[in-house]
Amino acid sequence: MGPLVSTHPVGLKRRRPLGLAAVAMALISALLLVLMFFIDLNGFQYVLVFAAYPLLISTPIAITMLRPRVPQTFELYEGGLAHVRDGRRREWTWEQVRAIDVLQNGPISRSGAGIDCTVRFDDGEVVRFDGFTENAGEIAGALGDHCAEAARVPVRPQRLGRLVTVLGGITVGGAGVATWAILTVPHTAEGGDQFGLAMLAVACVVPAVISLILLISVLVHARR
């Protein structure tokens, strides 16, 4: 595959502080949700329902960051890519790359912050690297230079259907609960219950709108 260009170890130490921070956020959010059922502020306690948002976000982050991981390194060559994980080494030429999925926040940089890239090769092997990989942007840039056609092919086509199903379920479920809460408000006595229903409606509308936007984005991207 030609001479070695660079090596890119996957950083494990950076994950633990982020994981602990996510655990702290999840615990605080859960405590606020529990307090909502034990305090009475004339209905204003229902505002604490919004603590569900950081709880839903921080919990999977904590699980992902703190789960045990095996040290691994990517090696970038002029003619291809190698992956070393737990003593097992695999290598592929650029011609063996069949599909690439890249998610990024902003332009790809050398540091690779925000990158989440999955690559499938002609032997069926799939590897993934993200911003925790040292200089991940350099690997993504090399893939873009040598494998532009593969970037138009989804790595796992079946995931698209699952993603559409999940986003569609969130959109319909959130919109349905919000609609029920709004229609119930006129038939509820004035006071805390009305306020609580209003907060429930708002809390459900927000994820429904976000998931709808993501669903439209996914469908538009899939048609390209």
Question: Using CB atoms within 10 A of its CB, is residue 51 exposed (0-12), middle (13-18) or buried (19+)?
Answer: buried
According to CATH, what is the number of the domain 79-152?
Answer: 2.30.29
* Distance from C-alpha of 91 to C-alpha of 105, rounded to nearest angstrom: 28
pLDDT at res. 172: 92
Strand pairing report for 88-93 and 97-103: unpaired
- What per-residue confidence (pLDDT) applies to 75? 93
Minimal CA–CA distance to 14: which of 136, 141, 104, 107?
136
Residue 127 in 3-state DSSP? Answer: strand
- Whole-angstrom Cα distance, residue 61 to residue 91? 30
For the chain, list residues with pLDDT below 50. Answer: 105-109
Q: How is the chain split into domains, by residue range? A: 4-66, 79-152, 157-223
Q: Is 61 exposed, middle or buried (0-12, 13-18, 19+ CB in 10 A)?
A: middle
pTM given for the model: 0.60
**Residues contacting 149, CB < 8 A, separation 6+:** none
- Token pair, residue 46, equals 């229902």
Task: Determine the pLDDT at residue 161.
Answer: 76
